Structure 1
């Protein structure tokens, strides 16, 4: 890569010169304004200098002389059409020599440092471009390798990607399949390859980790998550399962005092199930509520939905978590959410240390690869999934094999 500088009396002209000489692929890495010429600092002309980077191969392709700018004066001053390479930076330019000859011993005014554009944002942008190019090259290399794989392996890769499994993770899964099978098995036994693919996905999902009660003291489980993910309904389903099906003593505590409807909804569920509900508005009241329920087997703590980008709300949630000291914190996530958003939500909530995740509305999602993406990238255990609005029925401890089949088989059907 070569670095070149262009000087003109406006940014637009300097940009035109750079594009004309180096092509559209030139990257601006630095700009500055300064004043030049004049006498004793007076009547100096404002000038603009841009420094650009260009790949040497692209430079060779654009080295042919270009047509002059439409409407440009053929007597344009030399400095507007001239450029310098970085290695000649210390040498006086043609402009400098002409000025020195005209003004003799008159000192040249230094560029105004206050007009210089900071290079850091541009360097950061250049680094981002490099990372994007590296990622694209990685994808191209992966795709080139996949083209040499047996067709059924390519189809499995397409199934995973169609089901919203991240491309890099899909490549890793297929590569693991290849490493686990002999060359003959890869070519002649597609069913064996599919079984191996399912096993690898199951190993990435890992064994589910539902709530396990303590001996001699209550198990305190806090439910956290963004708004609208079905947190309150999920708590009601868990409470009903433990109280009605497993015959355990369950208590509820709600901190969701922002929404009166949410409190009343949970109160209705508690009355139907026949379990106590405590409402806490402050941290001190939370301690009192937990003390009242100290003889229960399970205490489920309902928190208000939080905006993960609001640090104040997350900090407030952290204070309640510190007071309650739960045995585990479960993050409730909506399956109908893009992987990048799910990972961002997890990262922001994880300041209070997330132990497990619950995915809701699995039945409403056409794709399930995002579940695998989150579990693999965060190394977090999956506790439950919900697949409907019915209390207490529509919640279950996930079967990793069934979930793997959803990711692979339905992905193939949608391809």
Structure 2
């Protein structure tokens, strides 16, 4: 068993030192506040007495030492995966029948109907033009079955989004708790 004292100006710093040296498996045996007058000025220091079982130290060192794999074995596994995928994709492509896609030969009336449908749904003219442009560019991918999904995906890619961030207000608040004795005013705060 290893025992050591950690001293710092704050309790938090002393605990951080202890965890850095002993790890999370350390056991706190005691804490003490020490008054230091060495510089002529009174200063409070926090002292933590901590211990760590040597068996735990040995186990922690074993866990920290990762198993090293040789470069050759890793390369062999990766090449096997790559060639295995290529072989399976080749056999799959031989087995499957060619997929028949029904291209939409979009004429002016179909573009107009799409524009009108989007206007009815309150989509801006700028976004409607982008949708029509994308549909005309990739008309070979669009068929009757996936036309609506394709339009939705185009609209989703046009709409700008950002991550949600919760901003805490720095403003302090004063709250007054009033009530008879024993109803839990202090417990409510804690």
What's the TM-score, normalizing by structure 1? Answer: 0.15
Higher relative contact order (CA 8 A, sep 6+): 1
What's the TM-score, normalizing by structure 2? Answer: 0.29
Which structure would you say has the larger Rg? Answer: 2
